[in-house]
Structure 1
Amino acid sequence: MATTLKKTTNKTDIKYPIHDLLQKRWSPRAFSDKSIEPELLKQLFEAARWAPSSYNEQPWHFIAARKEDEEAFKKLSAVMNDFNRGWALAAPVLVLGLTKTTFEMNENSNPHAGHDLGQAISHLTFEASRHDLYVHQMAGILPDKAREIYDIAENVEPMTMFAIGYKEAASQLDDGLQEKEQAPNERKPLSDILTLNAG
Structure 2
Amino acid sequence: MHELIESRWSARGYDPTATISADDLTEILEAGRWAATWGKVQPVRFVVGIRGDTTFTAMTELLTRGNKPWAPAASALVMVCTTDDPDDAKAHDYGAVDLGLAVAQMSIQAVALGFNAHPMAGFDTEGARVRFAVPDDKRAMVVLAVGRLADDPSTLSPEVRERDSLPRRRLPLDEIAFAGSWGQAFTTGA
Pairing 1:188–2:139 present: no
Q: Distance in 2 between matches of 1:81 and 1:150?
A: 17
* TM-score normalised by L of structure 2: 0.87
Counterpart mapping for 1:84-99 below 5 A: 84-99=67-82
Q: Distance in 2 between matches of 1:61 and 1:126?
A: 18
Q: Structure 2: which amino acid aligns with 1:166?
A: R
Pairing 1:127–2:113 present: no
* Residue number among 25, 50, 55 corresponding to 2:34 in the alignment: 50
Secondary structure, in 3 states, of the residue corresponding to 1:129? helix
What corresponds to 2:148 in structure 1? Answer: 166
After superposition, what is the alpha-carbon deviation per residue over 1:105-164, rounded to whole angstroms, capped at 9, x for unaligned? xx9441211111010111111111111111011111101110120122222111111110
Count how many residue pairs are aligned between Structure 1 and Structure 2: 178
Unaligned runs of 5+ in 2: 185-190
Give aligned-pair identity as a percent. 27
Q: CA deviation at 1:170?
A: 3.2
Pairing 1:83–2:74 present: no
Q: Distance in 1 between matches of 2:66 and 2:156?
A: 13
Unaligned runs of 5+ in 1: 1-17
Secondary structure, in 3 states, of the residue corresponding to 2:70? helix
Q: Structure 2: which amino acid aligns with 1:148?
A: V
Q: Distance in 1 between matches of 2:113 and 2:29?
A: 13
What corresponds to 2:18 in structure 1? Answer: 34
